[in-house]
């Protein structure tokens, strides 16, 4: 069957492409405006209720003890030759063991993998990275520095700088998107892929355009297109939004989950309360629409997808659709009582599922 539009003369095709692009960007900026209006109303409401508290912003001077807990591993740095950026990571387990590379989501940093650093260091060299722009990793100032091509290249270069040519790659949320794309672009570097609460990127881009409910849940993608205002909104009431993401009934870890301690919350506040600390993370989202829509790509290595069904940001239907893009063994496990923050919410179950997948694949290869 001929591809739609193939019979059109070149000028007509150009008009069609231009029209689709115009509609796409009209949607992006229209929804951005809606999200900005909602945020503005919330700001006015907060000022009206507690004007003295609204603009309180406390910069945490000293890190809480949990960030230097020796049981989590060693703080290390590596400078990438091509980009010149210095990356921070925490590593646990002996050098020379197979590499397990962990990519966090938003708004997180290496610490979101604390339970996995402790768990898998017995058999792996476990590395939890601060992505470009996060935590102690360098943060280039321009949004163009956060395009997906740059983020994918970061992982390839870091792998090589650590002295490895392959790894078990695990990603959550935004780190999950990067993990999918690394597995697609550099399949020889990923022996096994494990993604937590993020579908195949093609599933996400197609689903969000067809399901208004997911478009609404992903509203922050559009809100983050604005300059400086999203960062400002995060700082209000001493980072109330940040705390609420992890603790509220709507978006936080559920009643049956492993709730964050006061010290865990302070760890997040320490990292993101620093001046300018939010711009790099939000720039990841500001660059995303220049890379969309993505083409369909297949994943050829064994893949495990873990999903918290009570995810407030991602609809669970996308998890099952992801199966069609994995041309190898694919295992999907949906945890009914778990939230978006799955590896922190249900660490024991998540770790057990990862172990089962890794051992199962090792046994499968031997057979």
Tell me whether residue 32 is in a domain: no
Strand partners, 305: 195, 332
Q: pLDDT tens digit string along 108-156?
A: 999 999 999 999 999 999 999 999 999 999 999 999 999 999 999 999 9
Q: Which tokens go with 87?
A: 């990356």
Task: Assess whether 186 carries a catalytic annotation.
Answer: no
Check 104, 172, 284, 340 and give the catalytic one: 340
Q: Residue 138, SS3?
A: coil
| pLDDT tops 70 at residue 224 | yes
Check 138, 285, 311, 325 and give the catalytic one: 285
Task: Assess whether 348 carries a catalytic annotation.
Answer: no
How is residue 310 annotated by DSSP? T
| pLDDT tops 90 at residue 37 | no
| pLDDT tops 90 at residue 48 | no
| pLDDT tops 60 at residue 6 | no
Distance CA 361, CA 268 (A): 35
Domain count across the chain: 1
pLDDT range class, residue 179, cuts 50, 70, 90:
very high
Q: Which tokens go with 364?
A: 């499968």
pLDDT range class, residue 231, cuts 50, 70, 90:
very high
Report pLDDT for 20. 64
Tell me whether residue 140 is in a domain: yes
What is the arithmetic mean of pLDDT over 2-21? Answer: 60
| pLDDT tops 70 at residue 363 | no
Check 173, 264, 311, 345 and give the catalytic one: 173
Distance CA 78, CA 299 (A): 28
Tell me whether residue 48 is in a domain: no
Distance CA 140, CA 102 (A): 22
Tell me whether residue 10 is in a domain: no
Tell me whether residue 54 is in a domain: no
Tell me whether residue 237 is in a domain: yes
User: For residues 350 and 253, is the Cβ–Cβ distance under 8 A?
Assistant: no
Which phi-psi region, left, alpha or beta, contains residue 353 (left: φ > 0; alpha: ψ -120 to 50)? alpha
Q: What is the CATH number of the domain that holds 262?
A: 3.40.50.1820
Mean pLDDT computed over every residue of the chain: 90
Tell me whether residue 274 is in a domain: yes
Percent of the chain with pLDDT over 70: 91
Q: Which tokens go with 278?
A: 């939010």
Distance CA 10, CA 150 (A): 32
Distance CA 93, CA 77 (A): 16
Report pLDDT for 7. 47
User: For residues 102 and 113, is the Cβ–Cβ distance under 8 A?
Assistant: yes
Tell me whether residue 75 is in a domain: yes
pTM of the model: 0.90
Note down the domain range covering 340: 66-359
Task: Assess whether 172 carries a catalytic annotation.
Answer: no
């Amino acid at each position: 069957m001929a591809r739609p539009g193939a019979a059109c003369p070149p000028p007509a095709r150009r008009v069609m492409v231009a029209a689709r692009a115009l509609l796409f960007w009209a949607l992006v900026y229209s929804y951005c405006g809606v999200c900005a209006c909602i945020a503005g109303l919330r700001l006015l409401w907060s000022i009206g209720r507690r004007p003295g508290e609204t603009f309180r912003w406390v910069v945490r001077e000293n890190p809480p003890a949990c960030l230097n807990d020796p049981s989590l591993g060693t703080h290390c740095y590596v400078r990438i030759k091509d980009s010149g950026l210095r990356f921070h990571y925490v590593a646990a387990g002996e050098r020379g063991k197979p590499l397990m590379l962990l990519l966090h989501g938003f708004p997180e940093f290496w610490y979101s993998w604390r339970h996995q650093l402790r768990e898998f260091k017995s058999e792996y060299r476990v590395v939890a990275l601060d992505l470009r722009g996060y935590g102690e990793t360098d943060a280039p100032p321009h949004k163009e520095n956060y395009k997906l091509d740059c983020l994918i290249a970061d992982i390839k270069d870091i792998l090589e700088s650590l002295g490895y040519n392959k790894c078990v790659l695990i990603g959550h949320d935004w780190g999950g998107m990067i993990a999918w794309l690394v597995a697609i672009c550099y399949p020889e570097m990923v022996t096994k892929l494990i993604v937590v609460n993020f579908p195949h990127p093609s599933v996400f881009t197609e689903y969000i355009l067809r399901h208004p409910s997911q478009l609404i849940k992903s509203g922050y993608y559009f809100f983050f297109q604005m300059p400086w205002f999203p960062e400002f909104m995060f700082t209000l009431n001493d980072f109330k939004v940040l705390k609420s993401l992890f603790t509220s009934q709507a978006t936080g870890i559920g009643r049956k989950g492993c709730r964050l301690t006061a010290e865990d919350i302070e760890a997040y506040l320490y990292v993101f309360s620093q001046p300018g600390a939010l711009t790099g993370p939000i720039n990841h989202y500001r660059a995303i629409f220049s890379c969309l829509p993505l083409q369909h790509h297949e994943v050829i290595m064994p893949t495990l997808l873990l999903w918290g069904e009570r995810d407030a940001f991602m609809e669970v239907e996308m998890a099952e659709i992801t199966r069609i893009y994995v041309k190898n063994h694919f295992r999907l496990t949906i945890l009914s009582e778990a939230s978006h923050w799955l590896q922190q919410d249900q660490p024991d179950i998540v770790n057990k599922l990862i172990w089962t997948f890794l051992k199962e694949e090792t046994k499968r290869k031997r057979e």
